[in-house]
Amino acid sequence: GDELPSDKESDGEGKNDTFPIFNPSCLFEPTFALGMIFSNKKELREAIQSHAIKNKRNIKIAKNDKERLHAKCADNDCMWRIHACALKSECTFQIRDYVPNHTCHITFHVKNMKSTWLSKKYMHKFKTGPKRGIKGFRVDASEEIRCNITRNQVARAKRLALLMLEGSASEQYALLWDYANEIKRSNPGSTVILGTEQEGGQNMFD
């Protein structure tokens, strides 16, 4: 098969020019290549999950430890596989062996479909329509992805997304108060006004 340059050739300056770097913005539409570098193992696993859902195949993780991640098609007669290894002194993972073509049949029952994936994929829709019913979200997602999605998966995905959005807003709110307190500490006598309104007994952004 294809061989990658030695570790010596891949170290130092020019490494990022030599090997393709995975673009996180393509997480839900991933393309893989021999030698491709991922920022960490979690990113690689999520990209493999997206590949499974997009291509309507079941992918299983055959090996997963601190230094290696091996994924292969769940159909034993299919040759699709990815073998990746951790790069020395880094948390990054690099694809060292890759067979890109599936020879199996598609399935609409993709076991890699999880509520966590749905929550990230449709975060923007949950944000703009938090009161929209589960049925509507499920119809939209099923039509776009073209594989089976259960009502419970969508319900959990919505809860997860709203919790993450709420946590993000709370963190930003806390940072604003920290910033205001720092201004008052470093500039005694100064006045800082943060416009807020009460919602559910808690201060919220104005």
pLDDT band at 202 (very low <50, low <70, confident <90, very high): very low
Name the region of 70 (left: φ>0; alpha: ψ -120 to 50; beta: rest).
beta
- Residue 59's beta-bridge partner residues? 73
Number of Cβ within 10 Å of residue 137's Cβ equals: 22
Name the region of 162 (left: φ>0; alpha: ψ -120 to 50; beta: rest).
alpha
- For residue 105, being part of any structural domain is answered with no
pLDDT on residue 173? 53
pLDDT on residue 204? 38
What does the pLDDT look like over 102-111, one tens digit per residue?
Answer: 999 999 999 9
Region 76-80 average pLDDT: 97
pLDDT on residue 149? 96
- For residue 67, being part of any structural domain is answered with yes
- For residue 109, being part of any structural domain is answered with no
- For residue 175, being part of any structural domain is answered with yes
Global pTM reads 0.72
pLDDT on residue 167? 74
What does the pLDDT look like over 146-194, one tens digit per residue?
Answer: 999 999 999 999 999 988 888 765 555 555 556 566 666 666 666 656 5
Rounded Cα distance, 19 and 140, in Å: 37
pLDDT band at 197 (very low <50, low <70, confident <90, very high): very low
> Which range among 31-35, 120-124, 183-187 shows the weakest confidence by mean pLDDT?
183-187
Give 12 or 67, the one with higher predicted confidence: 67
Mean pLDDT of the chain: 83
Q: Do 73 and 119 share a structural domain?
A: no
Task: Check: CB of residue 91 under 8 Å from CB of residue 85.
Answer: no
Domain that holds residue 51: 7-99
- For residue 107, being part of any structural domain is answered with no
Q: Do 188 and 121 share a structural domain?
A: yes
Q: Do 76 and 132 share a structural domain?
A: no
pLDDT band at 55 (very low <50, low <70, confident <90, very high): very high
- For residue 126, being part of any structural domain is answered with yes
Count of domains forming the chain: 2
Q: Do 120 and 86 share a structural domain?
A: no
Q: Do 92 and 119 share a structural domain?
A: no
Q: Do 148 and 176 share a structural domain?
A: yes
Q: Do 123 and 62 share a structural domain?
A: no
Q: Do 60 and 21 share a structural domain?
A: yes
Domain boundary at 99, 124, 158, which?
99
pLDDT band at 205 (very low <50, low <70, confident <90, very high): very low
- For residue 2, being part of any structural domain is answered with no
Domain boundary at 99, 128, 161, which?
99
Four-residue CA torsion sign, 125, 127, 132, 135: positive
pLDDT on residue 185? 66
Q: Do 137 and 65 share a structural domain?
A: no
- For residue 55, being part of any structural domain is answered with yes
Q: Do 135 and 63 share a structural domain?
A: no
